């Protein structure tokens, strides 16, 4: 391994150790096991060599936000045969074909057309694509996702849930959200709790639904997300360091 690669690995290993310590502490505070929390490394806008360094540290699950960037990385890292890719960003309907057979999970299903196209383009010889419905739990107009801020209207989401469940190429397992970006992570607790409550509501309305995944929590607020029931945390900078751009995750 080249010295520059060794330095990258060392930095990621150090960050990962700190993240794992934080995960364990959050689980202990909330009476959970760390095994209940899946770490997804968000590699959007990060170079290939950084993904390789993270892989060398034992990380295998990587999340991408943009279809073309995701496919380019998949092709460049095809030699990492046990790597698993997940789509966490908004999916344009015209780009569904690029990723339908290249990822194991999509976190951002938010409309009927995308769900239909994912099912249509998923190779029936592959396992059903793990699917999460993205929920705009805060009501911010800038956020993607089905509306979920008003608990009195949660019943309106049931037809869309039923639609996604009916597709044989998809396996609906839970919900995802991105709350407001705030300096104080405690401010997002209410949104994480609301997503958990929404999941429980949907399960109560459909006895055979069995939604169990909650994809919530990023580098700025994942300890609180874990305390409120997150099963998947999406960490970018906390693992890989600052991105070349100023965009946050």
Q: What pairs with residue 106 in β-bridges?
A: 87, 131
Alpha helices in 130-236 (DSSP H): 158-166, 189-205, 222-227
pLDDT tens by residue, 5-39: 789 999 999 999 999 999 999 999 999 999 999 99
- Going from the C-alpha of 19 to that of each of 16, 103, 106, 204, 239, the distances in angstroms are 5, 25, 24, 34, 8
Q: How far apart are CA 103 and CA 120, in angstroms?
A: 15
Res 183: pLDDT: 86
Phi, then psi, of 38 in degrees rounded to 5: -95, 130
**Distance (Å, rounded) from C-alpha 126 to C-alpha 169?**
9
Q: For the chain, which residues make up each domain, given as ranges? A: 3-238
249 has pLDDT over 70? no
Round to whole Å and give the CA distance between 204 and 246. Answer: 41
Burial (CB < 10 A; 0-12, 13-18, 19+), residue 43, is buried
- For residue 165, give the 3-state DSSP assignment: helix
Q: What distance in Å separates the CA atoms of residue 245 and residue 30, rounded to the nearest whole number?
A: 35
Mean pLDDT check: name the lowest of 160-164, 178-182, 215-219, 232-236.
178-182
- Residue spans of alpha helices (H) in the chain: 3-29, 48-56, 67-76, 96-99, 112-121, 158-166, 189-205, 222-227, 237-240
Q: What is the pLDDT of residue 68?
A: 97
Mean pLDDT score of the chain, rounded to an integer? 95
> How far is it, in rounded angstroms, from Cα 110 to Cα 87?
13
Percentages helix, strand, coil for the chain, rounded to the nearest 5?
A: 45, 15, 40
For 33-85, the pLDDT digits (tens) are 999 999 999 999 999 999 999 999 999 999 999 999 999 999 999 999 899 99
Distance in angstroms (rounded) separating the CA atoms of residues 190 and 45: 30
Confidence at residue 2, expressed as pLDDT on a 0 to 100 scale:
58
CATH class of 3-238: alpha beta
Predicted local confidence at residue 126, as pLDDT? 97
Residue 247 has pLDDT above 60, yes or no: no
pTM attached to this predicted model = 0.94
Q: Summarize pLDDT for 87-144 with one digit per residue, the tens.
A: 999 999 999 999 999 999 999 999 999 999 999 999 999 999 999 999 999 999 989 9
Nearest to 77 by CA among 65, 64, 90: 64
Question: For the chain, what percent of residues have pLDDT higher than 70?
Answer: 96
């Amino acid at each position: 391994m080249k010295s520059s690669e060794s330095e990258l690995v060392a930095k990621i290993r150090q960050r990962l150790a700190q993240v794992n310590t934080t995960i364990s502490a959050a689980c202990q505070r909330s009476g959970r096991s760390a095994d209940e929390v899946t770490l997804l490394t968000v590699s959007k806008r990060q170079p290939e060599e950084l993904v390789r360094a993270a892989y060398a540290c034992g990380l295998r699950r990587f999340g991408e936000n943009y279809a073309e960037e995701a496919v380019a990385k998949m092709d460049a890292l095809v030699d990492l045969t046990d790597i698993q890719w997940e789509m966490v960003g908004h999916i344009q309907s015209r780009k569904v074909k690029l990723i339908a057979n290249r990822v194991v999970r999509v976190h951002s299903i938010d409309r009927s057309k995308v769900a239909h196209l994912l099912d249509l383009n998923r190779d029936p010889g592959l396992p059903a694509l793990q699917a999460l419905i993205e929920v705009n739990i805060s009501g911010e107009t800038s956020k993607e996702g089905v509306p979920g801020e008003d608990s009195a209207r949660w019943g309106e989401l049931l037809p869309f849930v039923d639609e996604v469940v009916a597709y044989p190429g998809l396996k609906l397992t839970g919900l995802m959200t991105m709350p407001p970006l705030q300096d104080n992570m405690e401010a997002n607790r209410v949104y994480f709790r609301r997503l958990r409550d929404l999941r429980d509501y949907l399960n109560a309305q459909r006895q055979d639904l069995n939604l169990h995944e909650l994809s919530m929590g990023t580098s700025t607020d994942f300890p609180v997300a874990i305390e409120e029931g997150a099963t998947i945390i999406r960490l970018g900078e906390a693992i890989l360091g600052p991105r070349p751009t100023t965009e946050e995750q």
